[in-house]
Amino acid sequence: MSLKHKIINIAVIAHVDAGKSTLVDAFLSQSGVFRSNEVVKDCVMDSNDLEKERGITIYSKNCAINYGDYKINIVDTPGHSDFSSEVERVIKTVDTVVLLVDASEGPMPQTRFVLQKSLELGLRPILFINKIDKNDQRAEEVVDEVFDLFVDLNATDEQCEFPIIYGIAKQGIAKREMDDDSNDLSPLFETIINHVEAYPAYDEEPLQLQVSALAYDDYVGRLGIGRVYKGTVKNGSQVSIYRGEEFVSKGKISKLSIYEGLKQVEVEEAGSGEIVVIAGMPNISIGETLCDMENPNPMEMIHIEEPTLSMNFLVNDSPFCGKSGKFVTTRHIKDRLDKELEVNVGLKVEPMDTTDGYRVSGRGELHLSILLENMRREGYEIGVSKPEVLMHKENGKLMEPMERVIVNCPEVYSGAVINKLNLRKSMMESMSIEGDYVKIEFIAPTRGLLGYRSEFINDTRGEGTLVRSFERYEEHKGAIPGRSNGVLVAQGPGSTMAYALSALSDRASMFVDPGVEVYEGMIIGMNSRKDDMVVNPCKNKKLTNVRASGTDDAVKLQSARIFTLEEALEFIDDDELVEITPDAIRLRKRFLNETDRLRYNKSRQSK
């Protein structure tokens, strides 16, 4: 007997903040997944703490709804290009994608990236123009822009004939035309069902199940998540595991689950087209195929984009080591990185020449800083070096990654932005003015963008937005100027004093407030000049019996600049580190002792 009931798998793809997770919330609530008395939080799919705080999706997740006699498996994907390795795998398991585009913003760089992957795999997207209730919506123009984007990305004639739905994800409304009186998502459900055929019934063929994502369960260990392309998968059955054409091992499925709503439900068997979760294979990896023992028919491995950025994760050797963290040794760091590699395929970890750390490569600053933030919250202490862009050679030429940068800022600040990005070897591609704002597109080397975001925020007085995504590799662009200011370095250990900080703040901006414990070699501020300066922030006013009017007023200090993890990684120079602990993010020199620093700088100059 065939287990077939009509299955369609869809992925929701879009730029960050276009409303992907909100649309999935509406899908779930309108298909009766939640009880009438159940309290449902926004963005229910963004379950990770960091996802909730930042309002972004980092890990793709699955859920399922029933509509009529169809079962629709929905995958909510990340929009940031740093998590592109998540997106690429997910798109392979779906029958179509719902491309979500903001009715006023139009297509953004990440929209381009995720759409390109979908078109390459031959999928026929459905366009959902979201937020049509905005005052500045321009839905008709945006549809034309999306069509141009399809043509740019070499879409086939069939792919270019995409159905268009207009809607407001937050209110759970979808319309075929802007002036429809539809008040739910029925038009979108109907369009999905009419646009995509349900997965064909391949239940009787030999098993072919490709793992596209991994998860971990404290009770049953590693879980493989993937689609049953052919055959029927049964709980307790023996399977052979292949990596491409190469046989890896045999395995036994100890637990089999499918998605119903947001929950995983254990089942005895699942048919073709279904997305399943399997347990029992501790070494299963992404891209591997589970095949029938008698008639193996493996699929080719999933290609994952190469990392573009690397950092050194070092053992924290500062005087404050171990004060707040539980895991401080190389072995602890290695175990945690090994665990991360099990589920994070965009990551690459290599041992360094010395024994005090690892070189970790990823798809961008956000990709690596999310990992660091998670480690920090779990009780790890690490020293991290300045991010380095990964180059490669092609036909004897050095190639470096380039990014597409879209800047939206008030016109009055555009001159400063263009000037700074030109210095960083960027090429302007287009510029358009919309009211008081200007939208500029650049192609810029990734190297030139490191450390630029905080300058951009200052130059645009916080009113500009900067969106970037990987575009291609180009020939090396030559030297790019780095940070132009030196830093203030603490001379010795102690607690900072308002009196000393007040005197220093005349010629520097401070990174610490009074009463903060510091150590020799810790960075406490940014100098107004280009040289580093060793200072004593712990000096207090000498107390005498003599009092003079006017000289004993209370010290007034501006509040210190507090760095987020990403800002700290962008700020540091080659000879500096970010010390990351559960309770603090500190900036420090790689060599804490001043004599060691002078010796190191001399050796660099002589090379």
Topology adopted by domain 6-195: Rossmann fold (3.40.50)
pLDDT at 34 over 60: no
Q: Is 499 helix (H, G, I), strand (E, B) or coil?
A: helix
> What secondary structure does DSSP assign to 165-232, as a single string?
EEEEGGGTEEESSTT----SSHHHHHHHHHHSPPPP--TTSPPEEEEEEEEEETTTEEEEEEEEEES-
pLDDT tops 70 at residue 31: no
The pLDDT, as a whole number, for residue 69 is 81
> Per the annotation, does 130 bind a ligand?
yes
pLDDT tens-digit map of 331-373:
999 998 988 887 777 788 998 887 788 999 987 777 788 889 8
Report whether 22 belongs to an annotated binding site. yes
State residue 587's pLDDT score. Answer: 93
**Per-residue pLDDT, 607:** 61
pLDDT digits (tens, 9 = 90+) for 128-152: 888 888 888 888 888 898 898 888 8
Q: Which of 192-201, 499-508, 549-558 shows the lowest per-residue confidence on average (mean pLDDT)?
A: 549-558
Residue 45, pLDDT above cutoff 60? no
Helix spans in 409-445 (H):
414-423
List CB contacts of 435: < 8 A, sequence separation 6 or more: none
- Of 39 and 155, the structure prediction assigns the larger pLDDT to 155
Q: Is 275 annotated as a binding residue?
A: no
Alpha helices in 514-589 (DSSP H): 565-571
Q: What is the mean pLDDT of the chain?
A: 80
pLDDT for 18: 59
Annotated binding-site residue? 132: yes
Does the pLDDT value for residue 41 go beyond 60?
Answer: no
Q: How confident is the model at residue 53 (pLDDT cuts 50, 70, 90)?
A: very low
- Check pLDDT > 60 for residue 49: no
Give 108 or 502, the one with higher predicted confidence: 502
Q: Do 584 and 562 touch, CB atoms closer than 8 A?
A: no
Res 37 pLDDT > 80: no
pLDDT surpasses 50 at 60: no
At how many degrees (to 10) do helices 84-91 and 109-120 cross?
30
Q: Where in the chain is the domain with CATH 2.40.30.10?
A: 208-291
Mean pLDDT of 374-379: 89
Instruction: Give the residue-averaged pLDDT of 451-477.
Output: 81
pLDDT at 25 over 80: no
The pLDDT, as a whole number, for residue 52 is 40
The answer to whether 18 is a known ligand-binding residue is yes
pLDDT tens, residue by residue, 242-291: 888 888 888 888 888 888 777 778 888 888 888 888 888 888 877 888 88
List residues bridging with 226 in a β-sheet.
211, 276
Q: Which of 512 and 214 is assigned the larger pLDDT?
A: 512
Tell the CATH topology of 208-291.
Elongation Factor Tu (Ef-tu); domain 3 (2.40.30)
- Residue 182 assigned ligand-binding role: no
H or E stretch at 144: helix 139-152
Q: What is the mean pLDDT of residues 485-504?
A: 89
DSSP 530: S
* Greater model confidence, 388 or 182: 388
250 is in an annotated binding site: no
pLDDT band for 39, please (50, 70, 90 cuts).
very low
Of 11, 10, 17, whose CA–CA distance to 102 is shortest? 17
Residues carrying CATH 3.30.70.240, the chain? 392-475
pLDDT of residue 586: 92
Residue 531: is its pLDDT beyond 90? no
Domain 392-475 CATH (choose: 3.30.70.60, 3.40.50.300, 3.40.50.740, 3.30.70.240)? 3.30.70.240
Comparing CA positions, the residue from 220, 191, 69, 203 lying closest to residue 129 is: 191
Question: Tell me, what DSSP letter sits at residue 170?
Answer: G
Question: Do 534 and 502 form a contact (C-beta atoms < 8 A)?
Answer: no
Which pLDDT tens digit goes with each residue over 285-304?
778 888 888 888 888 887 76
